[in-house]
Amino acid sequence: HLKAVDRVEAVREAFRHAWKGYKAFAWGHDELKPISKTHGEWFGLGLTLIDALDTMWILGLKDEFAEARKWVETELFFSKNVDVNLFESTIRILGGLLSTYHLTGDTLFLDKAVNIGSRLMPAFKTPSKIPYSDVNIGKGTAHPPRWTTDSTVAEVTSIQLEFRELSRLTKDPQYQVLYFYYCINIISLANLISANQMLSTMHVYLSRLLEDYLQAIEGVRKNLLRQTSPSKLTFVGELSNGRLNPKMDHLVCFLPGTLALGAHNGLPADHMELALQLMETCHQMYAQMETGLSPEICRNCVQTPADRHNLLRPETVESLFYMYRFTKDSKYRDWGWDILGGYTSIGNVRDPLNPAPRDKMESFFLGETLKYLFLLFSDDNELISLDKYVFNTEAHPLPICVRTSVNVNDLM
């Protein structure tokens, strides 16, 4: 095994390599297509560049950061007639700009954050204040997704940090009001909420958020946890119409880190025990594949051909980062080292000779995956201290501005 410092430098080199390709073939565009050496567009807002800003700063890549900052200053404008997804724009663009502002103190990034934040506000012009999924940042109009009139719970409740922080920094309460509307007893609702559903049908209990979290984890434990046979790997299935579907998405691999963070802050010790079990499962999703990369979905830890793709997702290395920070067990670093790679999505994790490259490097590879790997291998625990920062859904660290020394159990 390489020394920790060598692993840190390996992540820097991986970033430099990916950035070199992005700069050469996709500069200012949303995504690099590394096989065809072209670019892909989603919103047309330089998504990869913005997502990678704070990663470059954390990795100490000053030259790359400087050229990206120049693009933000001279080329990034939001007054364009384009529909953007509220969730993705908030966690990637707004979150990325706010995080970079906090890390650098450069008001350019705060000014850009305020601009995009204000342009996302029309999404909340619904009777319930539960936002529409899509907003035209140029026209100031919003609408539900084309396929339904509903908004997805996971999306509309994952943008609290950014809008709350925007209100704190601007001293403008309009964004903070949105945060209040999100602090609802969401656990009891169905997976989809009608954007026209009246607020009176919901229960806004700020004091119950901790209780709801604990109930949610207990619900997972009672209703969704299963073990594979014969390997006895614990996994989280999906409940549909009262029946358990024994499938676990790679996306679920954020959960060990979440459980560990809760246990670190005083939640029950058995949360950490579950985190350890699920972390092992997520590791095996990589280790048992011929390419060493996890499939998108495991069904009883077996994949159908449609599930065998890998998008360079960050969830497993995110959890490895938390697990190492809290346990100092070097195996988590070793598991992360085994995962480090890139730079395109692939279609078949079971075939190392023909992994079927998909010719797409998602922005979160630079924004999240490499950032968490760098932090995993870094010996500096003050580098984005978990007592001072909280990561948003896109791995953009924001400061913990209000925190007491009271143990969370005292709040229950």
Which residues neighbour 385 within 8 Å (Cβ) at sequence distance 6 or greater? none
- Measured CA to CA, the distance from residue 178 to residue 166 in angstroms comes to 11
User: Which 3 state secondary structure label does DSSP give 234?
Assistant: strand
In the numeric block, which tokens belong to residue 175? Answer: 């964004």
Structure letter (DSSP) for residue 125: -
393 among annotated binding-site residues: yes
As a whole number of Å, the end-to-end CA separation of the chain is 44
Residue in 31, 88, 162, 296 annotated catalytic:
296
Strand intervals (E) in 144-195: 150-152, 192-194
Query: Residue-wise over 317-340: b if at least 16 C-beta within 10 A, else e?
Result: bbbbbbbbbbeeeeebbebbbebb
Give exposure, 208-231, as e/b (b: 16+ Cβ within 10 Å): ebeebebeebeebeeebeeebeee
Is 296 a known active-site residue?
Answer: yes
Helix (H, G, I), strand (E, B) or coil at 108: helix
User: What is the dihedral angle through the alpha carbons of 299, 303, 306, 311, rounded to the nearest 10 degrees?
Assistant: 100
**SS3 at position 253:** helix
Q: Which of 99, 113, 12, 115 is nearest to 64 (CA)?
A: 12
Q: Which are the catalytic amino acids?
A: 296
Annotated binding residues for Ca(2+), as ranges? 393
